[in-house]
Chains A and B, each alone.
Chain A
Amino acid sequence: METATTSGLDVRRLGRVPYAEALALQEDLRARLAAGELGDTVLLLEHPDVITFGRGAKPGSALADDDALRRGGYEVFRIGRGGDVTWHGPGQLVGYPILDLRRHGSDVHRYLRALEGVLIGALEHFGIAATRRAGYAGVWLDERRKIASIGVGIRAWRTVHGFALNVDCDLARFGAIVPCGLADVEMVSVASVLGAPVDRARIEAQVEHELRKAFG
């Protein structure tokens, strides 16, 4: 019979982790992935209030300067991922897959589409019909309403950063930024769409299941 390879995906649920700490952990995992000490890993977590600017951030994406943002209770980071500016905070499910894309087709767009597929699949499970929007990475309900953001960084086909799904976060916290540089975008969350409280653990479990399907 055929030889089997067991699912190599290590999914770690970490709870709340400060942004800088998560960043360092990702780099450490990526280095160990590169050294062959570890396989593919995914971190599932949430951050305290933080605003991050990707390399693609355009001036004017944040509606206040860094100092003003800090006074408003946000941490501020400028980081090496694609995409513009985004907010992370409590009530958001953040996923950081540290993968070797050479095991998953060595194709950057395919990877982004796969991440979107993971979230679309998980949301479907909770009765939310989410979709992709051509030319705008992320997960959308329609042309205007966005429920999850995506932005990844790749070195030698190994990934960091990933996705942020709004579960039941305070959507007003997005008010300080123009999410992903797109005006006219309304951020929504699972809770705001369903109009009911949601069980974060169940969503996390479903996302984990979809991740294993996509990258296991």
Chain B
Amino acid sequence: MPKQIRMPKLSDTMEEGRLIAWRKKVGDTVKRGEVLAEIETDKADMEFEAYTEGTVAQIVVEAGATVPVGTLIAVLRLPGEAEDAVAAVPAAEAQPQTPARVPAAPAGQAPATAPAKPVAPRAARTAAPAPTPARVELPAPPAGERVAALYAPDDDRIRATPRARRLAEERSIDLSELTGTGPHGAILVADLEAYLATLEGQTPDGDGVRATPLALRMASEQGTDLEAVKGSGPGGRITKSDLLAHWKREKAHSKEREAVMYRSTLQLSQKRKALIRNMVRSKAEAPHFYIQMDVATEALRDLRDQLNRDAGEKRPRLTYTHLMLKAAALALERHPHVNATYRAEENDIALYDAINIGLAVDVQDELVAPTVKDCQGHTVWQLAEEANSLIQRARMRKLQPADYADGTFTISNLGMFGVDRFYAIITPPQSSILSVSKIAERPVVRGGKLEIGQITTLGLSVDHRVIDGVRAAQFLGEIKRLLEEPRELAHDGNGHD
């Protein structure tokens, strides 16, 4: 069957394209992937390739013309097809076909046509002005009726004899509802008569007959309210075409309404796509619960300042982040059941050997969480060095996949952005995440007296499948204690207690 070539849609916003030049002429053979034509839209010039091998049988749109997307621009004859297989293309066929999908029509056939083999449901024909179609004479015309131009593989044109077509028009019959019993499935006058007989047999409801049997079934399957649809069929009945056109309009309207709400759309990076998958999976699979504790940070500040003073040039400058990292590492070492994951396939909880802590970092609008590996037994300075190097590489976008891999716990810090308290979403397959907020002066009650303290609020999001409330509280309490009495954060790796 010959292949119809149509003006391609190269962009969601492309409505028409200019045919700049044909690279092939009638009679030329083309291979798959060979350039057929050049098409311009906006300021882009696209080489348009053939998707099938064949011979150019007809060029419908000449170079220089601008035509709507979906317009038939050429016909290819496939290998082995006889030259006369290609009928001249009826003018109506050259009309653009909207590639928009219509809702799935019921698979059944029109009720009236008993014997014929089922044919694929045909898309609606819009009321395009129909200049007289060019015709091809078939070798064996059926009794008294000639069959109009029939061929074309992706043809959703309806085959019918001219007499049947005329009669259908007179009686406002939607040909797409019928299955033809003539040659090549063409609709004959006899098919129409059988169809009309079924319509007459329809039992009217209170308001009379509103739709054809097929349209009634399609509407009920799709839950469409027929009140909103205008009928153009016999006796004002709503037909399949009416319904399809209605659905198409509805869809176009909702698209338009949607489109005006957006200023622009952003494409997703691979990282963003992975993040979306992970976060959705986390919230869907891991039952989160949340606890928070206020932590006094004066001692932590004093320790940080003292360590930085004593360390001089040879050690990295310590920040709260580094001390939090060390505190989390120590707490995880002491609460191994927190450094664990639920495994759905095995239906068990696996305790991690290593303590690998991810640090959520924002790099030019992209969230990354490189992991500091094997935190156990490392001094705060070693952890600081490793964390600094990871963050630096993240900023330069030099992180390798291994740098993100194998995290067993994550720290997310929004303190520098003025956040008072928050709860991050757990990164699967980990089972908890620590949310660090800003350190601020707040009123605190100590020993019955109101004082001003330096306080931060730590949030812990926990996967309840792995960790219960009491254990979560003990773990977060351990971190709080380590931060409020921070001497051991500065211990050497060998001598930790």
Using a CB–CB cutoff of 8 Å, the interface residues on chain A facing chain B are: 1-7, 54-56, 80-83, 104-105, 107-112, 137-138, 150-156, 180, 213, 216
Contacts and interface: CB of A to CB of B under 8 A. Distances in A.
B12 A155 contact: no
B405 A156 contact: no
B99 to A, nearest CB: 15
B397 interface: yes
A1 B12 CA distance: 34
B166 interface: no
Contacts of A109: 10-14, 41-42, 44
B104 interface: no
Contacts of B11: 107-110
Given A1-B406, A155-B35, 16 more contacts: A4-B404, A5-B270, A6-B397, A6-B400, A105-B267, A107-B11, A107-B12, A108-B42, A109-B12, A109-B14, A109-B41, A110-B12, A153-B45, A153-B47, A155-B47, A156-B49
A107 B33 CA distance: 19
Contacts of A56: 18, 20, 40, 45
B198 interface: no
Interface string B47-89: 1010000000000000000000000000000000000000000
Given A1-B371, A1-B404, A56-B18, A6 B44 contact: no
A5 to B, nearest CB: 4
Contacts, number: 116
B93 interface: no
Interface stretch (B229-237, B271-279, B462-470): B271-279
B488 interface: no
A27 to B, nearest CB: 12
A80 B274 CA distance: 38
Contacts of B368: 4
A18 B360 CA distance: 47
Contact of A55 (B38, B42, B267): B38
Interface in B18-43: 18, 20-21, 33, 35, 38, 40-43
B364 interface: yes
B40 A1 contact: no
Given A1-B358, A1-B407, A56-B18, A81 B10 contact: no
A6 B403 CA distance: 12
B20 to A, nearest CB: 4
Nearest to A209: B364
Interface residues of B, number: 45
A190 to B, nearest CB: 21
B399 interface: yes
A152 B44 contact: yes
A56 B427 CA distance: 52
B44 A2 contact: no
A7 B397 contact: yes
Nearest to B410: A1
A119 B18 CA distance: 26
Interface string B336-363: 0000000000000000000000100000
Nearest to B8: A108
A56 B399 CA distance: 44
B44 A111 contact: yes
A78 B311 CA distance: 68
A76 B20 CA distance: 20
A205 B42 CA distance: 28
B369 interface: yes
A1 B399 CA distance: 13
Given A4-B400, A156-B49, A82 B371 contact: no
B442 interface: no
> Which of B11, B18, B44, B403 has its CB near the most chain A CB atoms (within 10 A)?
B44
Contacts of B495: none
Contact of A3 (B12, B47, B404): B404
B315 interface: no
A54 B271 contact: no
A85 B295 CA distance: 68
B401 A108 contact: no
Interface in B387-433: 397-401, 403-407, 410, 427
A154 B46 contact: yes
Interface in B257-308: 267, 269-271, 274-275, 277-278
Contact of B271 (A5, A108, A150, A213): A5
A80 B12 CA distance: 23
Nearest to A135: B42
Contacts of A152: 43-45
A213 B266 CA distance: 11
A55 B23 CA distance: 13
Nearest to A83: B43
Nearest to A158: B47
> Which of A1, A80, A110, A154 has its CB near the most chain B CB atoms (within 10 A)?
A1
Contact of A80 (B13, B38, B49): B38
Given A82-B40, A107-B10, A54 B45 contact: yes
Contacts of B405: 1, 3
A209 B273 CA distance: 22
> Which of B33, B46, B47, B400 has its CB near the most chain A CB atoms (within 10 A)?
B46
Contacts of A155: 35, 46-47, 49
A213 B364 contact: yes
Nearest to A136: B43
Contact of B42 (A1, A6, A137): A137
B323 to A, nearest CB: 23
A6 B13 contact: no
A4 B49 contact: no
Contact of B45 (A4, A6, A82, A216): A82
